[in-house]
Amino acid sequence: MFKGVGMRAAALRAIGAALSAVLLASCGGGGQVEKYQPSRIISFGDETSMIVDGSDPTVDLTGVVGVSLQNGAKYTVNAIKDKAMNAGATLLDCKLNPIWNQYLATAYGLVFPQCNPDGFLTTSRIFATKGATVAAVKTQIDTFLAQPDTFTSATLVTILAGQYDVRAQYDLVKAGTITEAQAQANIEQAGTDLATQVNRVGQAGGKVLIATIWDVGTTPFGLAEDLASPGRAAFLSLLSSRFNSKLRIGLINDGKMIGLVLADEVISSAVKNPGVTFVDVQKPACDPVKAPLVLQCTTDTLASTSTVTVTGDTNVWADDLHLSSGAHRAVGSLAVTRATGNPF
């Protein structure tokens, strides 16, 4: 009996060795798989992916304090530098409280021109624009491709858009212009159209991280709409869900050129579990009186119920629609995990 056990053990060891040899051969003779390292990041989408440093003539910076060239403001809770070190002046520190694609860039040692106070050489670019819909993303990509530039395997592209498509369809239903069924069909088409643009970038040679949109029904905007007319938040949630569903279905899922960042799941988890990572999942961090526009919001203009630090915050939302700096960090962390784990 003991002899039989020994023979079986020897056979299992032989099989294991054979399998190891096969696996090593499939990895190029036993060498370590090379980690993906982009040389630049190109961002498309809405202002969730934007940094504004004053060189953009399309953005009104009235009331935005502390912005300078290469030290821009973001559509979230902006961090400020130590006033004691700057003669009491309020100056932004764009490297703190990074937005999600900036968090991703930092993980790879890359910077965007709009937040580059140290003056590093950079080829990363932000083509995202305020209020961009899926149609606007197509225009952004067209603009990039019209330049003497191309996507390469070393170009990591981020895309995040869709909440303004949800808002547009919701507003049309609210105005009585279209039916809810028509709005759902339109938003599903928008999700499909964005997937087409993601695939387009991938097929052109770029490596893409596409982020899903969060549930607009759970934003302070959605909650306020529901308070005015019960059922509106649920409809906004439906539109958000259908957009994400069609987006995901339409992506080329070969595992080599597209990585999916499930931002909707990260934010939904935070909203459903208050107190775990975020204390306040309904109220905005920014005080609308001190900072009427989210671009004006800093750690000096917070609502009395908010607690924001340079390392995170206790609110999910910065204002009625935009993510807080802490929520950006959560999505950015997921993006880093997805990029490093994807076999680009």
What is this structure's pTM? Answer: 0.88
Residue 83 pLDDT grade (very low, low, confident, very high; cuts 50, 70, 90): confident
Task: Answer yes or no: do 71 and 98 share one domain.
Answer: yes
**10: how many CB neighbours lie within 10 A of its CB?**
10
Task: Answer yes or no: do 44 and 29 share one domain.
Answer: no
Task: Answer yes or no: do 71 and 129 share one domain.
Answer: yes
Task: Answer yes or no: do 119 and 47 share one domain.
Answer: yes
Task: Answer yes or no: do 60 and 132 share one domain.
Answer: yes
Task: Answer yes or no: do 183 and 254 share one domain.
Answer: yes
Q: How far apart are CA 124 and CA 130, in angstroms?
A: 19
- What DSSP letter does each residue of 127-158 carry, written as one string? ---TT--HHHHHHHHHHHHHSS----TTEEEE
Show the domain range for 160: 40-341
pLDDT at residue number 306: 67
Task: Answer yes or no: do 102 and 28 share one domain.
Answer: no
Q: How far apart are CA 140 and CA 119, in angstroms?
A: 26
CATH number of residue 212's parent domain: 3.40.50.1110
**What's the sign of the alpha-carbon dihedral 212, 215, 221, 225?**
positive
pLDDT at residue number 275: 83
Q: What is the mean pLDDT of residues 78-86?
A: 82
Task: Answer yes or no: do 96 and 147 share one domain.
Answer: yes
Q: Is the pLDDT of residue 14 over 60?
A: no
Mean pLDDT taken over the chain: 88
Task: Answer yes or no: do 82 and 6 share one domain.
Answer: no
Task: Answer yes or no: do 24 and 61 share one domain.
Answer: no
Task: Answer yes or no: do 85 and 197 share one domain.
Answer: yes
Determine which of 44-48, 87-91, 223-227 has the lowest per-residue pLDDT on average: 87-91
Number of domains in the chain: 2
Dump pLDDT digits (tens) for 119-134.
Answer: 999 999 999 999 999 9
Q: What is the mean pLDDT of residues 176-180?
A: 98
Task: Answer yes or no: do 57 and 78 share one domain.
Answer: yes
pLDDT at residue number 86: 73
